[in-house]
Every structure is written in structure tokens, then in C-alpha cells.
């Protein structure tokens, strides 16, 4: 989307075929100020893509920002005036008005840099660490040591937060699926906060520069691979930090939370679940008519097969979990005990 260029009415309209881009801006107020300065010097100047930036913000700037157009014959004079403005040496009509601050000088020679706004936009997919790292690399190449330090602080603080949340998920919450929700919930606010507090400054600094751009496709690929590697690494790390006893206790807690007693069929119900170390004990109450040996054996066989073929239980049994089944009558007297372990389970995928 592009705007129809506009110019002060006091100046003659420019021939669109002769217009060239003098510079680019991120903020409309800056673009309007420079256009007014040029107009006051008798140089017709026009703005393009103003609505794109106003409508799409970061994405609009990633597409090139607001273009300030002048006629090709006025380009040398306009460049000289723009240089004076940026250097803060331009004399203003109002002596009491402060001269604008000088913009950072472009490095010479100009290094290849990541596009700062594209990095921020892609961060909405890969999270805030990705654009922070690219911005830090840019500041290192530009040579702005103060900005590099600030960028490094943001990067390390965010990395510490990611590691802290990961540690919480692994050792306290023990819930990776819920943890992904936490990451998604926090990523966007952190990205927005960082951009307007720190990242935007780099975008404003680099916008007027003509610099060789590093391939964002490569950065996107590497960022995606790093994100996937981090996600895949959490799984085995989670398994290595959570003991079988903790997992057994979690199962007992989850069953109790779902509500007990739980009716299995007309004559059988689960009345209690408890955990002790790596032993999970299910207490099952059977009505008198179901207490015949044949009925009990049939129930235990079916339960045995169900437990041994359940992927989650298979994993726990292989890790040393024992599932004790305690059959009781209506008076809660023990009638039969049965133990399921890896030793007496035939796993369906075993050779």
C-alpha cells in the first residue's frame, strides 16, 4: 500500500518521473519536519508510504519506512541540507528553539547488517531472544559500544528468564505442556517491551542508511533449528530430572483429583489410589456376586493387559514402577492382591 505523495501548496508540483528517494524515516513527525525544512529552502519534497507505516507499525517499517522524495535535480542541495540537519548545525529561525540532536554517523566502511525491523517481526514467531541476538550483533558491527552493552543486558536478562522458567518446569511444576503455554503467554509482551525500550532505537538509527543486508532467511532457519533443538532437549532432560516416585505420586494425585470412588462396572469400583515410593496401589471394591474366583481372575487379566499395553504405563513400568492391585469386598476386607511389574508384562512392541 502506498500513499499519494503530498507537497506544500506554495511550491510547484514535481514531475513524478523525476522523483528520487532522499532518505527514509520511521516516524511521521520526523519525516514531516525534514520535508518542511526542505520546503522552506525552496526544495519541493513529498512523502510516500506514510499510511503503510501508520497502519502496520513495525511491519510497515520493515518494508522500508516513510520515503522522502525530491526531484533529481534538487538531490545535491537536499542532501546537503539533510546533512546539516542531522549534524545539528542547521540554523533555525527561532533562536530559542534547540537544534535537533545529531544522528549517529554511519560506519565507514558499512558492514552487512540484519534488518532490525524484520528481526523484530520474526521474533513474533520465534520469541524475543531471536531479535535481541540479531540486534546485539548489529550493534557490535556498527561499533556503538554503549548500545551494545544495553543490548547485551536485554539479551542476558531475557535468557535468564527463559532458563529460570525452564528450571521451574523441570524441577518444580514438572509440566512441560503447561510450560509451553507460559512461554507463549510471556513472549509477546516481552518482545513489545523490548522493542519500544531498546530495539526501536536501532531501527531509527539504521533507517536512513544504505547497507548490505544479511540474509534474514538464513537467520530464520537457524533460529527455527535452535528453537526446535531447545524443545527436543527439554524432553529427555525432563525425564532425567523427574524420578519414578514423583511420577507415581503424580498419578495417584491425578486419580484422586478426578474423583473417587470411580465405578468401573456394575459390580466393581475403584475406591482408593495411593503411592509409596515406586509402588502405585489401586484398591478395588467388588460386590459379593463378583467375588467368585473366576470373576476376579477375569477382571485381573483384563486389567493386566490394559496396564501393560498403555504407552504411559509401559514407560513407567520399564523405569521400575510397580502397580499393586488390591481387591476388597463390601466390608473392605482384602480378598486378593495382584502385582503388575515389568517382569510379568509382555509389552506389545517387544521382540
CA distance 122 to 128: 9
Residues 181 and 94 in one domain: no
What is the reported pLDDT for 152? 95
What is the reported pLDDT for 98? 42
CA distance 324 to 8: 87
Residues 222 and 249 in one domain: no
Q: Is position 231 within any domain?
A: yes
Residue recorded with cell 505420586:
249
Q: Is position 349 within any domain?
A: no
What is the reported pLDDT for 60? 60
Question: Helix 176-194 crosses helix 116-126 at what angle (to 10 degrees)?
Answer: 160
Residue recorded with cell 513527525:
29
What is the reported pLDDT for 247? 78
Residues 230 and 252 in one domain: no
What is the reported pLDDT for 2? 45
Parent domain of 204: 116-241
CA distance 49 to 65: 7
Residues 95 and 199 in one domain: no
H helix runs in the chain, sequence order = 28-40, 50-56, 58-62, 75-87, 116-126, 129-142, 145-168, 176-194, 200-206, 216-241, 244-257, 293-309, 311-318
What is the reported pLDDT for 94? 47
Q: Is position 350 within any domain?
A: no
Question: What would the grid cell of residue 163 be?
Answer: 532458563
Cα 84 from chain centroid (whole Å): 42
Q: Is position 111 within any domain?
A: no
The total of structural domains in the chain comes to 3
Residues 309 and 234 in one domain: no
Residues 124 and 231 in one domain: yes
Residues 123 and 178 in one domain: yes
* Coil, helix or strand at residue 66: strand
Residues 151 and 226 in one domain: yes
What is the reported pLDDT for 156? 95
Residues 213 and 303 in one domain: no
Alpha carbon separation from 251 to 38, 105, 154, 285 (Å, rounded): 73, 62, 40, 20
Q: Is position 149 within any domain?
A: yes
Domain boundary pick from 208, 225, 241: 241
Domain boundary pick from 71, 103, 135: 103
| Per-residue tens of pLDDT for the chain, all 351 residues | 445 454 444 555 556 667 888 888 877 777 888 888 888 888 889 888 877 776 666 556 666 778 889 998 888 898 888 888 776 666 555 444 444 444 566 788 889 999 999 999 989 888 899 999 999 999 999 998 999 999 999 999 999 988 888 777 767 766 656 666 677 788 889 999 999 999 988 988 887 788 899 999 999 999 999 888 887 777 676 666 667 787 788 888 888 888 888 888 888 888 899 989 899 999 999 887 667 788 888 888 888 888 888 888 888 898 889 999 999 988 888 889 999 999 888 765 554
Q: Is position 143 within any domain?
A: yes
Q: Is position 225 within any domain?
A: yes
Alpha carbon separation from 196 to 25, 121, 164, 190 (Å, rounded): 16, 13, 24, 10
What is the reported pLDDT for 323? 92
CA distance 349 to 16: 73
Residues 92 and 141 in one domain: no
The CATH number covering residue 258 comes to 3.30.300.250
CA distance 19 to 7: 12
Return the exposure string of 83-114: e unless at least 16 CB atoms fall within 10 Å of the residue's CB, then b: eebbeeeeeeeeeeeeebeebbeeeeeeeebb
Domain boundary pick from 195, 218, 241: 241
Residues 237 and 253 in one domain: no
Q: Is position 109 within any domain?
A: no
Residue 241 CB: number of other CB atoms within 10 A? Answer: 13
pTM beyond 0.75: the answer is: no
Residues 328 and 228 in one domain: no
Residue 341 CB: number of other CB atoms within 10 A? Answer: 15
Q: How open is the CA angle 158-126-140, to the nearest 5 degrees?
A: 60
Q: DSSP letters along 43-62, please?
A: --EEEESHHHHHHHTHHHHH
* Coil, helix or strand at residue 26: coil
- 261: preceding bond cis by omega (within 30 degrees): yes
Amino acid at each position: 500500500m502506498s500513499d499519494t505523495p503530498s507537497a506544500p501548496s506554495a511550491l510547484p508540483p514535481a514531475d513524478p518521473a523525476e522523483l528520487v528517494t532522499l532518505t527514509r524515516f520511521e516516524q511521521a513527525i520526523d519525516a514531516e519536519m525534514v520535508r518542511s525544512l526542505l520546503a522552506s529552502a525552496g526544495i519541493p519534497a513529498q512523502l510516500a508510504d506514510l499510511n503503510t507505516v501508520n497502519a502496520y507499525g513495525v511491519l510497515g517499517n520493515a518494508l522500508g519506512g516513510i520515503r522522502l522524495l525530491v526531484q533529481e535535480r534538487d538531490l545535491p542541495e537536499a542532501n546537503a541540507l539533510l546533512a546539516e540537519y542531522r549534524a545539528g548545525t542547521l540554523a533555525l529561525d527561532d533562536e530559542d528553539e534547540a537544534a535537533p540532536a545529531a544522528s549517529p554517523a554511519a560506519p565507514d566502511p558499512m558492514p552487512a547488517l540484519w534488518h532490525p525491523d524484520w528481526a523484530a517481526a520474526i521474533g513474533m514467531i520465534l520469541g524475543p531472544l531471536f531479535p535481541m541476538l540479531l540486534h546485539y550483533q548489529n550493534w557490535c558491527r556498527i561499533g556503538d559500544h554503549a548500545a551494545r552493552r544495553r543490548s547485551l543486558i536485554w539479551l542476558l536478562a531475557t535468557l535468564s528468564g527463559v532458563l529460570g522458567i525452564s528450571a521451574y518446569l523441570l524441577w518444580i511444576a514438572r509440566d512441560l505442556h503447561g510450560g509451553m503455554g507460559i512461554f507463549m503467554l510471556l513472549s509477546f509482551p516481552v518482545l513489545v517491551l523490548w522493542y519500544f525500550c531498546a530495539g526501536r532505537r536501532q531501527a531509527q538509527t539504521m533507517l536512513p542508511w544504505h547497507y548490505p543486508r544479511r540474509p534474514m532467511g538464513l537467520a530464520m532457519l537457524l533460529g527455527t533449528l535452535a528453537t526446535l533443538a531447545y524443545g527436543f532437549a527439554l524432553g529427555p532432560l525432563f525425564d532425567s530430572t523427574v524420578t519414578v516416585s514423583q511420577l507415581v505420586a503424580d498419578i495417584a494425585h491425578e486419580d484422586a483429583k478426578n474423583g473417587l470412588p470411580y465405578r468401573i462396572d456394575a459390580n466393581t469400583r475403584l475406591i482408593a489410589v495411593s503411592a509409596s515410593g515406586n509402588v502405585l496401589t489401586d484398591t478395588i471394591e467388588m460386590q459379593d456376586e463378583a467375588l467368585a474366583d473366576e470373576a476376579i481372575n477375569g477382571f485381573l487379566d483384563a486389567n493386566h493387559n490394559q496396564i501393560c499395553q498403555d504407552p504411559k504405563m509401559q514407560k513407567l513400568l520399564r523405569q521400575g514402577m510397580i502397580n499393586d492391585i488390591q481387591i476388597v469386598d463390601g466390608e473392605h476386607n482384602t480378598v486378593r492382591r495382584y502385582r503388575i511389574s515389568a517382569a510379568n508384562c509382555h509389552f506389545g512392541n517387544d521382540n
